[in-house]
Chain A
Amino acid sequence: MNVIEVKGLKKSYGQVHAVRGVDLSIPAGEIFALLGPNGAGKTTTVEILEGFRNRDAGEVSILGFDPKNQGREAREWRNRIGIVLQSAADAGDLTVIETIKHFSGYYSNPRDVDEVIAAVGLENKSSALIRNLSGGQRRRLDVALGIVGRPELLFLDEPTTGFDPEARRAFWALIQQLRGTGTTILLTTHYLDEAEALADRVAVINNGLIIEVSTPAELGGRATSKAVVSWRDGDHIKTEGTDNPTSVVTRLNAQFGGEIPELTVTRPSLEDIYLTMIGGQNE
């Protein structure tokens, strides 16, 4: 059984159709990225899955539970999931360790508090007040609070917004480590390189619909799209689109009798593909 199973999900706010029929199937242990521009329906979709919002239509099953239900069963369900929201700035007067210890008490089978602090790399900050943490450290605390309950499913909403490149790399390593523990992760992000580095599969959502679900390497026909070979020929930069870049390079190699000046061979980046996809939809 899939950890996340969504069929025909719809949600409108007045006249605005935020989500117009989303289907998703995510198996256990997968890292799944949901990509899309602001206002595409990303946050609405995820918040319905997290049980924060009601839906207008469709079926949702998260770990076999319908998140629209409340009460005792909902508590048992929340005991099995972890949620890392965007930008929380609460509990400034508590220390890192106090907060993680307190949240661990909400769950039936929490992770060891020191282990969690080490996993997110906050050992040196464990007795610092939260108000004194940097943005990146706060975000790592958010993740610590999301994973302390040993969730089977983790929601990560734009986890690295505002990070410097080094902090993002460290964060990615942390998520990859979680993959090793078998946690299923639903990630929403603006960053294409993040999706490429972390996700097993990505879905692109725009105007309330999923345009495509694929691996990052294959999205939008990326794996089979033409390669572009470019090189310098005298004063000019020449380019050639081809399905056989190796033979083009071999030919050029013979032509130049050795090194080809300023040679590059590129395929469209995930970002190129993504921008084409959402651009095509918006026109």
Chain B
Amino acid sequence: MNKIPSALNLGIRRGKLEIIQFARQRESVVFTLLFPVILLAIFGSVFKDTIAPGVTFSQYFVAGMIASGLVNTGFQALAITIPMERDVGGLKRLRGTPMPASSYFIGKAILIAVSMIIQIALLFGFGLLFFGVQMPTEPSKWLVFIWLVLLGSACSTALGIAFSIVPKSGRGASAVVSPIVIILQFFSGVFFVFTQLPAWMQQLAAIFPLKWLTQGMRSVFLPDSFASQEVAKSWETGRTFIILLAWLFIGVFFSIRKFRWDRD
């Protein structure tokens, strides 16, 4: 008698299957992957000013777009699509097989990571070619960038899975999730310069991960001189790491304890 496959092995198989399924939904592929580029094109064309010496709005905006891409692609997409999968009975079917929940979660994490990599590559490509976005040159900044993407992606995936228990049905999920994400984007300084927002907005945003992701991305894409213009007069890299990690644990905890496979 063979042994049943390991959770990690099945997770990787799930990841492949998730990618195939995602790739076959052409409209959503184009929309998901190109949405940040479209936003960059709009905002980059409207705001041509520099916000600090040597810092164009496009440069500032790329940082915000990568951060909010992590939230859109992970949290928002999962909190909407998982209730839809639940509605059509797909999750209940999986629950009846020997595949463990962790494999399902690993599969989602792989899908989100892959689609983030593609999204970032597109954003870099368009940013470099058309909007004069400058890439960081110091290796230390790239290091920060890599852990921010990995941690942010994991955090966003875990919170999206956890939040999927909130919408009662797949049909209503978008109406519950999308406003939260849009408001969070405004509060967290994705579309506007964070320090120009009212103090109460800044304080509220500081509870949630998007503000820290955005600030972290600014530390990668803006010159260090800009750090003095942040609320704390610094990039707060250590604090960003700790807060994202805390949210990752919260997401994983609720995903494991509260995940719902069935409609009722």
Binding site for B on A (CB under 8 A): 50, 52, 75-76, 78-79, 81, 83, 85-91, 93-94, 98, 102-103, 105-109, 145, 149
Contacts and interface: CB of A to CB of B under 8 A. Distances in A.
Given A79-B4, A93-B24, A98-B20, A107 B98 contact: yes
Nearest to B262: A52
Given A78-B96, A78-B98, A93-B24, A108 B88 contact: no
Contacts of A93: 20-21, 24-25
Contact of A149 (B89, B92, B98, B262): B98
A81 B97 CA distance: 8
A79 B98 contact: yes
Given A79-B98, A106-B97, 6 more contacts: A50-B96, A76-B98, A83-B97, A88-B89, A90-B89, A90-B90
Interface of B: 1-5, 10, 13, 17, 20-21, 24-25, 85, 88-93, 95-100, 262
A195 B21 CA distance: 38
A93 B84 CA distance: 14
Contacts of B24: 93-94
Secondary structure class of chain B's binding surface, majority of residues: loop
B220 to A, nearest CB: 35
B4 A107 contact: yes
B262 A106 contact: no
14 contacts: A52-B262, A75-B4, A76-B4, A76-B98, A78-B98, A79-B98, A87-B89, A89-B89, A91-B90, A93-B24, A106-B5, A107-B97, A109-B1, A149-B97
A196 B40 CA distance: 66
B5 A85 contact: no
B100 A75 contact: yes
A87 B1 CA distance: 33
A76 to B, nearest CB: 7
